[in-house]
Amino acid sequence: MTEILKTQGLSRYFGAVTAAEDINVTITQGEIVGVIGANGAGKTTFINMVTGYLPPSEGSIFFDGRPIKGLGPRKLMREGLARSFQIPQLFLELPVIDNLAIALSAAQNDHLQMLRPVRTTKRLAAADDILEQMGITQYRDEMVTAMPQGARKLLDIAIAMLGNPKMLLLDEPTSGVSMEEKHALMDTVMEIVKRRSLTVLFVEHDMEIVQKYVTRVMAFASGVVIKDGPVEEVLADEQVQTLVTGKRRHTSTATEQGDV
């Protein structure tokens, strides 16, 4: 399989604080990788470095065989690396359809057009198609502020996918979404991902979601990758259970209580 993302010795320091250290990862095309870790483990820092939001202190990043360290979000998006955010980054005071229309015009490299309306028939049809795929057609003409969190997440991910990316990085796609909506949201996203054969790396706290949708997991703790491998193997690891999922701590606490 072809390598699509590779990081070597990737680190980020904030003064004396180490947010991420010596991250060496290789992701191949078509993989769906989960990133897990407790709060402050370095997951989002890793995503932010890869997507050009945060410059790394050390190390290098290669995307599709080309070095991308130092490239900003705009250039990375053009390279085919897209992302969604933990807190959806949308145009809140604009209608949903306009959010998509702007994204489509940018994806078509038509965003500097001064006289042709952004809402062309073709573009509106494409936007409607996306809304339908995402199952959020009912919000078409509403302001984003009128959407519930789950629908906002879907719109955020839909916008990220508009530029026909090769790889998608999703930062906690189900955070803030109700238990009932989580699986429906992930089903919708994963269906499109599989149809387009996209490579996906997503940060997730819900282990049920991780087990259901990914084949490989990277576990972060204190800024380093403590385990990287198949999902069952990583989740069964003693260190991961202690530092990330908390299973071992709960088990031992229960045992101690039982003993008493």
Partner 1 sequence: MSLQKSEALMIAAAVAIGLVGLMSPNWLVFTTTLAVAKALVVLGVVMLMRSGLVSFGQGLFFCIGGYAVGMGGRFWGIQDALLLILLGVLASTALAMILGLLLTRYREIFFAMLTMAFSMILFGVLVKSHNLGSTDGFSVVQWSLLGWVPESGMGVFWLALVLGLLVALFLNRFFQSSIGLACEAIRENEVRVEYMGISRRQVLYINYVLAAAIGAIGGSLTALAAGHVDPEMAYWTISGEFVFIALLGGTGHVAAAFIAAMLFALVRTYAVEFMPHTWQMILGIVLLLIILFLPKGIWSLFTRHRRAAP
Q: Where on the chain is the footprint of partner 1 (CB under 8 A)?
A: 51, 53, 72-74, 77-78, 82-83, 85, 89-94, 98, 101-103, 105-107, 109-119, 159-160, 162-163
CB closer to partner 1, 103 vs 218: 103
Q: Which amino acid is at 164?
A: N
Using DSSP's 3-state secondary structure scheme, residue 7 falls into: strand
CB closer to partner 1, 62 vs 91: 91
Minimum CB–partner distance for residue 71 and partner 1 (Å) = 12
Q: CA-CA distance, 24 to 19, in Å (whole number)?
A: 15
Minimum CB–partner distance for residue 97 and partner 1 (Å) = 11
Q: CA-CA distance, 119 to 136, in Å (whole number)?
A: 19
CB closer to partner 1, 78 vs 212: 78
CB closer to partner 1, 78 vs 205: 78
Query: Is the Cβ–Cβ distance between 46 and 220 less than 8 Å?
Result: yes
Lookup: tokens for 168: 């998608």
Residue 120 phi/psi, 5° resolution?
A: -80, 160
Q: CA-CA distance, 240 to 119, in Å (whole number)?
A: 49
CB closer to partner 1, 5 vs 234: 5
Lookup: tokens for 143: 């302001």
Lookup: tokens for 178: 């109700």
Minimum CB–partner distance for residue 86 and partner 1 (Å) = 12
CB closer to partner 1, 150 vs 163: 163
Minimum CB–partner distance for residue 253 and partner 1 (Å) = 41
Minimum CB–partner distance for residue 166 and partner 1 (Å) = 14
What are the residues whose beta carbons fall under 8 Å from the beta carbon of 51, sequence distance 6 or more?
Answer: 73, 76, 81, 83, 169
Minimum CB–partner distance for residue 125 and partner 1 (Å) = 17
Query: Is the Cβ–Cβ distance between 32 and 189 less than 8 Å?
Result: no
